[in-house]
């Protein structure tokens, strides 16, 4: 696939992401407004961070005026999963992918854009990621700004319905490999079950942690156990994808 068609495919696959972003960013905007964030500040912050949980945490720090170190700590904790995602993406590039394209791809990483980039068949063409980025980022920033300006424009029913667009997309990413690979199916099922009980028990709150930490801990735990039980050498996987 050449760069232009990869970019177009990225644009197309970015549409559901953009729709979901808009709804979520809108409600993030309501929250930002409570923390005295201006519409311009919200737009710029959302455009350059694209981090839902990270922004939520960050705006809390701003509201409490908890200091720059507090902001750094909050940003690291709420976004630590991006470290794992970028590490996984580093293995998805063709060896001849130029340095600046790797950096730009890293800049584009969000939960959703990572999800579709890692599902790309064979080596990742960075233009696919750039396409998804360029359709979804403006709507994320715009949604935040409009949420701050306008408050509650959308009816509650529409917000409720739109808010599952993101999760629908997550499901569409994780289910196809579950059909092909029983180890993925097992790890995803374990993820659902343990996440459910972690939430039910409120364990994170009892330990003074936030839900972002629960996501990190469960991800590392389940992935490590699955990797130990059912090794999946990735070089051969890439080779077979490229040959097939």
Partner 1 sequence: MTGSTWIYILTMILTTNLIRIIPLTLIRKRIKNVFLQSFLYYVPYVTLAVMTFPAVTEATNSPVAGYLALITGIAAAWAGLGLFPVSMICCAVVFISELFLV
Query: According to CB under 8 A, which residues from 100 to 159 bind partner 1?
Result: 102-103, 105-107, 109, 111, 114-116, 118, 156-158
Q: How far is 205 from 64, CA to CA, in rounded Å?
A: 19
Under rule CB under 8 A, residue 218 binds partner 1? yes
Based on CB atoms, which residue is closest to partner 1, 149 or 183? Answer: 183
Under rule CB under 8 A, residue 209 binds partner 1? no
Give the chain as a 3 state SS string.
CCHHHHHHHHHHHHHHHHHHHHHHHHHHHHHHHHCCCCHHHHHHHHHHHCCHHHHHHHHHHHHHCCCHHHHHHHHHHHHHHHHHHHHHHHCCCCCCCCHHHHHHHHHHCCHHHHHHHHCCCCCCCHHHHHHHHHHHHHHHHHHHHHHHHHCCCCCHHHHHHHCCHHHHHHHHHHHHHHHHCHHHHHHHHHHHHHHHHHHHHCHHHHCCCCHHHHHHHHHHHHHHHHHHHCCCCHHHHHHHHHHC
Of the candidates 161, 207, 240, 241, which one interacts with partner 1 according to CB under 8 A?
161
Q: How far is the CB of 150 from partner 1 (least distance, A)?
A: 20
Under rule CB under 8 A, residue 204 binds partner 1? no
Site for partner 1 in 28-67 (CB under 8 A): 36-38, 41, 44-45, 48-49, 51, 54-55, 58, 61-62, 65
Under rule CB under 8 A, residue 22 binds partner 1? no
Under rule CB under 8 A, residue 207 binds partner 1? no
Under rule CB under 8 A, residue 184 binds partner 1? yes
Q: Under rule CB under 8 A, how many of the chain's residues touch partner 1?
A: 105
Of the candidates 153, 224, 240, 241, which one interacts with partner 1 according to CB under 8 A?
224
Q: Are 93 and 124 in contact (CB under 8 A)?
A: yes
Q: How far is the CB of 30 from partner 1 (least distance, A)?
A: 15
Of the candidates 20, 29, 131, 147, which one interacts with partner 1 according to CB under 8 A?
20
Of the candidates 3, 5, 72, 152, which one interacts with partner 1 according to CB under 8 A?
72
How many residues in the chain?
A: 244
Q: How far is the CB of 61 from partner 1 (least distance, A)?
A: 7
Q: How far is the CB of 119 from partner 1 (least distance, A)?
A: 8
């Amino acid at each position: 696939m050449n760069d232009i068609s990869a970019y177009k495919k990225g644009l197309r696959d970015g549409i559901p992401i953009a729709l979901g972003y808009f709804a979520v960013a809108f409600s993030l905007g309501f929250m930002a407004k409570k923390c005295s964030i201006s519409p311009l500040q919200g737009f710029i912050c959302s455009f350059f961070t694209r981090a839902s949980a990270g922004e939520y945490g960050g705006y809390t720090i701003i509201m409490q005026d908890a200091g720059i170190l507090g902001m750094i700590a909050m940003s690291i904790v709420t976004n630590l999963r991006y470290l794992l995602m970028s590490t996984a993406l580093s293995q998805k590039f063709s060896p001849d992918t130029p340095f600046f394209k790797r950096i730009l791809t890293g800049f584009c990483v969000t939960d959703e854009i990572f999800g579709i980039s890692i599902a790309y068949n064979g080596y990742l063409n960075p233009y696919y990621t750039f396409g998804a980025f360029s359709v979804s980022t403006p709507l994320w920033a715009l949604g935040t700004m409009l949420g701050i300006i306008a408050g509650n424009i959308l009816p509650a029913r529409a917000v409720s319905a739109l808010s599952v667009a993101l999760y629908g997309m997550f499901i569409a990413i994780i289910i196809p490999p579950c059909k092909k690979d029983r180890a993925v199916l097992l790890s995803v099922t374990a993820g659902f079950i343990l996440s459910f009980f972690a939430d039910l028990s409120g364990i994170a709150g009892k330990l003074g942690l936030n839900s972002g930490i629960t996501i990190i801990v469960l991800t590392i735990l389940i992935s490590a156990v699955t990797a130990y039980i059912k090794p999946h050498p990735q070089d051969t996987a890439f080779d077979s994808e490229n040959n097939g």
